Amino acid sequence: MELIFGPSTQKSSKREYDAIIIGAGPAGLTAAIYLARAKLSTLILEKLVPGGLAATTDKIENYPGFPEGIGGEELTSRMEKQAVNFGVDIVLEEVLDVDFLSNPKVIKTSDSEYTGRGIIIATGTSPKSLNVPGEQKFRGKGISYCATCDAPFFQDKEVVVIGCGNSGIQEGIYLKKFAKKITFVEFLPHMTAEKVLQERVRALDNVEFLLNHQVTAFEGEEKLTGVRVKNRETGEEFLIPADGAFVYVGLKPNTDFLKGKIEMDNAGFIKTDEDLKTSIPGVFAAGDVRTTILRQVATAVGDGALAAKLLEEELGG
């Protein structure tokens, strides 16, 4: 997967900004566009690559304005270019610590220290692990969390997709372009993906569904060779021979570095009010990282725009 980076995704000699955004997914990039257009000096800090989880999605069909859908990589690359065109600095450094109580607020990264008058947290989420035997051993050796990234490695192979929500089914449909056979394993007795995705995946050849089944272990020697599952109704356990396994069992917020720094819910998502304000004045949260009932690119973009506008007002813009 080739991501296109703008000219500012490097180092920055500047250390003081009006606004600092942590995270370069759709929420963070949108917020940066709005803030930069308001003539506020704006920095985005991102530990990986711009685009976030959305950039790893093969095709996004429910974002308005693209009747035929658009690749997640292409959409987020356009957002990144737009932010850079308005003068946003995007620096690829991991945030390790924050001091939200100082004035201005201090952000410490793996390489530098930055200050900002206002902060927007838009760190998004990461795929959850199953935490079963063999998962860590075979991570990158047959186990993946991104079909868009790794599907070509499984040309004409048999694979297992774990999870039948939107992500699992959508990525499984993409994976079928490469894999010879796919077995979907779902903990619940039914799929939770949108009906249109369910219809598409059921129309594919050489696809099997094991609903109401639980993965109990990943097996193999040097590489993954099988996924052990248990029928939750009968208790029967059996091994599915597989060259690969793709895990889509939910998302966890990227907030470990904020523990004890800001109010979160029990799952680690950041609590906000209706204006996206957190428990700390001058600090907002936007997108999937906050407590919300829907996590989509469209809602992340809306959050980013709102957080930026309210932060601009708070800074006296």
Which neighbouring-strand residues pair with 211?
186
Task: Tell me whether residue 150 is one of the annotated catalytic residues.
Answer: yes
The share of the chain scoring above pLDDT 70, in percent, equals 96
Task: Tell me whether residue 164 is one of the annotated catalytic residues.
Answer: no
Nearest to 62 by CA among 289, 301, 298, 293: 298
What is the structure's pLDDT at 4? 38
Asked whether residue 237 falls in the same domain as residue 266, the answer is: no
Q: Which domain holds residue 223?
A: 143-247
Residue 267: inside a domain: yes
| pLDDT confidence bin for 58, thresholds 50/70/90 | confident
Asked whether residue 110 falls in the same domain as residue 202, the answer is: no
What is the structure's pLDDT at 57? 85
Instruction: Say if residue 3's pLDDT is above 50.
Output: no
The predicted model gives 280-294 an average pLDDT of: 95
Give the tens place of pLDDT for each residue, 190-199. 999 999 999 9
Asked whether residue 47 falls in the same domain as residue 87, the answer is: yes
Which neighbouring-strand residues pair with 226?
219, 241
Residue 120: inside a domain: yes
Residue 93: inside a domain: yes
What is the structure's pLDDT at 74? 96
The predicted model gives 243-270 an average pLDDT of: 95
How many structural domains is the chain composed of? Answer: 2
Residue 38: inside a domain: yes
Task: Tell me whether residue 275 is one of the annotated catalytic residues.
Answer: no
Q: Running DSSP on this structure, what letter comes out for residue 309?
A: H
Of 124-128, 216-220, 300-304, the one with minimum mean pLDDT is 124-128
Asked whether residue 13 falls in the same domain as residue 34, the answer is: yes
What is the structure's pLDDT at 149? 83
Please report which residue ranges of 68-226 form alpha helices under DSSP H.
72-85, 147-150, 166-175, 195-202
Instruction: Say if residue 85's pLDDT is above 70.
Output: yes
Residue 101: inside a domain: yes
What is the structure's pLDDT at 12? 67
Asked whether residue 233 falls in the same domain as residue 287, the answer is: no
- Choose the final residue of a domain: 247, 274, 305: 247
Residue 165 belongs to a domain with what CATH number? 3.50.50.60
Instruction: Say if residue 1's pLDDT is above 80.
Output: no
268 sits in the region (left: phi over 0; alpha: psi -120 to 50; else beta) called left
The one catalytic residue in 18, 89, 150, 243 is 150
Across all residues in the chain, what is the average pLDDT?
Answer: 93
User: Bigger pLDDT: 222 or 9?
Assistant: 222
The predicted model gives 78-103 an average pLDDT of: 96
What is the structure's pLDDT at 242? 97
Which neighbouring-strand residues pair with 70?
60
Positive or negative, the CA dihedral 298, 303, 305, 306 is positive
Nearest to 285 by CA among 122, 125, 124, 98: 122
Asked whether residue 76 falls in the same domain as residue 102, the answer is: yes
What is the structure's pLDDT at 148? 82
| pLDDT confidence bin for 5, thresholds 50/70/90 | very low
Asked whether residue 71 falls in the same domain as residue 172, the answer is: no
Of 17-26, 49-58, 176-185, 270-279, the one with minimum mean pLDDT is 49-58
Asked whether residue 208 falls in the same domain as residue 225, the answer is: yes
- Give the DSSP H or E segment for 126: strand 125-127
Nearest to 113 by CA among 121, 123, 104: 104
Give the tens place of pLDDT for each residue, 25-43. 999 999 999 999 999 999 9
Nearest to 19 by CA among 76, 83, 69, 80: 83
The rounded Cα 188 to chain-centroid distance in angstroms is 23
- Choose the final residue of a domain: 219, 247, 275: 247
What is the structure's pLDDT at 56? 84
The predicted model gives 131-135 an average pLDDT of: 96
Residue 133: inside a domain: no
The one catalytic residue in 146, 164, 243, 288 is 146
Asked whether residue 62 falls in the same domain as residue 110, the answer is: yes
